[in-house]
Amino acid sequence: MNKSLLERARAAMPGGVSSPVRAFGSVEGDPPFVARGRGARIWDTTGRGYVDLVGSWGPLILGHTHPAVIDAVVGAASRGLTFGATCPDEVELAEALLARFPCADQLRFVSTGTEAVMSAVRLARGFTGRQRIVKFDGCYHGHADALLVHAGSGLATIGNGAQPSSAGVPACVAELTEVLPLDDEQALDDLFARRGSEIAAVVMEPVPANSGLLLQRPEFLRHVRAVTERHGALLLFDEVISGLRVAPGGACELYSIQPDIVTLGKIIGGGMPVGAYLARAEIMRCVAPLGPVYQAGTLSGNPLAMAAGLATLRELSAPGVYARLESLAARLESGWKTAFAVRGVCANVVRQGSILWICLQPGPAPRAWQQVDKRGAAMYARLHPELLAHGCWMAPSAWEVAFVSTAHDEASIDACVAAMGNALAQVHQVQTARS
Ligand SMILES: *Cc1c(COP(=O)(O)O)cnc(C)c1O
């Protein structure tokens, strides 16, 4: 009877959660339950408020309960939740997205980012008639079997297929996935020299934002484009985070690179479950019902998700939106940098547009996972509960990024800067007392 919500959650669901990182496994303290959000803020079930820098892990570029999005969703809901038939908003959202990604002629909507990448990999294999795919160490592409692999003991396994990074992934599936380090032209060239004709696609986050923020040299991205093209392999840009975040046309626009397939999710659903994969007509013609690559979904193109996505895209096309995000995020970056400097903490704040990462290591920002000093996690584990205590809601993992939304303003950004200063002071005090 008197069990807490946390106890009940943990009894009813593995770890008490529907997605692992929410369990606060790698930071100190228990996860609060979030009761509601508005604009840049959320409140937990005890009534405590926070400035939210997680934004539901990326989708909420307009913040919580944006009136235009809520109106669109309520309007759509009142007309019916799902029909299993194409709806008008679906066509409009498809056109609006294709206008932002000129490398693509057509798209297919799915319900999650995982599904988008999984389907896009199937399409790449169907189109090329090849089986192998390449991914980069540190890039996350959802939890489809073929993409839940890493390089095992570093470079030792390159070229021999990869080790699964989850139990339950068959070795024969993982073997078809090659894992390469980011920022390394030579490793890519070597692999293609040996296996180029077997590779269906290179899958990458052009703005890797799932192992910290590992910003790539544009020359490296251009090299990946050139090598894949030369070998008849497709280049798949997974822009589930970066699409519509780093620029209206995502990393494709930011770096002026035309991949063969783009996957989207998060922002394009405005907070509702959605994903999409986009490609030029020649490739999309392979997708059922036009072609032999099967892919379907009962709730795909869901009217509520389409309405929320469309409303979000409309707001994002207002003049000055990306400039505003840039200036707020720059303010947060410089405020945090000052907070670290004042406390004498060796840390970087890495930023691309409204995506920020607190990188707790000295020296230049890492561009590949093996350059990341994993010891930063211990400091972050102590910092995180203090950030929460000072009203700044950050991801409960050192390897996750922070997102600024259009609902933030100077005051809420400054509150996050102050929270960092206070959190650092607190952690420093405890450290001094311990030693
Ligand atoms: C979040 C994410 C996914 C998976 O999307 P889900 O909707 O969580 O399935 C895939 N790729 C990237 C780059 C992501 O950030």
Which of the listed residues 118, 140, 211 should we mutate to test ligand 1's pocket, taking the one with most ligand atoms within 8 A of CB? 140
- Phi and psi (nearest 5°) for 154? 60, -140
Question: Which residue has the least CA distance to atom 6 on ligand 1?
Answer: 113
C-alpha 34 – ligand 1 centre gap (Å): 21
Residue with tokens 């409960």: 396
Domain spans, the chain:
3-65+319-434, 67-316
Topology of the domain covering 67-316: Aspartate Aminotransferase; domain 2 (3.40.640)
CA 238, CA 247: separation in Å to the nearest integer? 14
| Token pair of 375 as six digits | 């010891």
Kindly give the distance from the C-alpha atom of residue 336 to the centroid of ligand 1, in angstroms, as a whole number: 27
Per-residue pLDDT at 25 = 92
DSSP character string of 278-347? EE-HHHHTTBTTTSSB----TTTT-HHHHHHHHHHHHHHTSTTHHHHHHHHHHHHHHHHHHHHHHHT---
Question: Residue 273 CA: which ligand 1 atom is closest?
Answer: 7
Question: H or E segment at 44?
Answer: strand 41-44
Identical fold between 3-65+319-434 and 67-316: no
What's the pLDDT score for residue 167?
Answer: 87
Q: What is the dihedral of CA 62, 68, 69, 70, to 10 degrees?
A: 120
The pLDDT value recorded for residue 38 is: 98
The fold for domain 3-65+319-434 equals Aspartate Aminotransferase, domain 1 (3.90.1150)
Check: CB of residue 211 under 8 Å from CB of residue 194.
Answer: no
Return the ligand 1 atom nearest residue 57 CA: 1
Rg of the chain over Cα atoms, rounded to whole angstroms, equals: 22
Query: How many residues does the structure list for the chain?
Result: 435
Probe ligand 1: pick from 266, 268, 355, 397, max atoms within 8 Å of CB?
A: 266
Atom index in ligand 1 nearest the CA of residue 242 equals 13
- Around ligand 1, the residues with Cβ closer than 6 Å are 112-114, 117, 140-142, 205, 210, 238, 240-241, 265, 275
Taking CA atoms, 238 is separated from 92, 133, 215, 270, 426, in Å, by: 22, 14, 14, 18, 38
Provide the whole-model pTM.
0.96
| Average pLDDT by stretches of 10, the chain with 435 residues | 87 96 93 97 97 98 98 98 98 98 98 98 98 95 88 40 78 92 98 97 97 97 98 98 98 98 98 98 98 98 98 98 98 98 94 98 94 94 97 96 98 98 90 68
- Total Cβ atoms within 10 A of residue 196: 17
Catalytic positions, please?
Answer: 140, 238, 266
The pLDDT score that the predictor gives to residue 296 is: 97
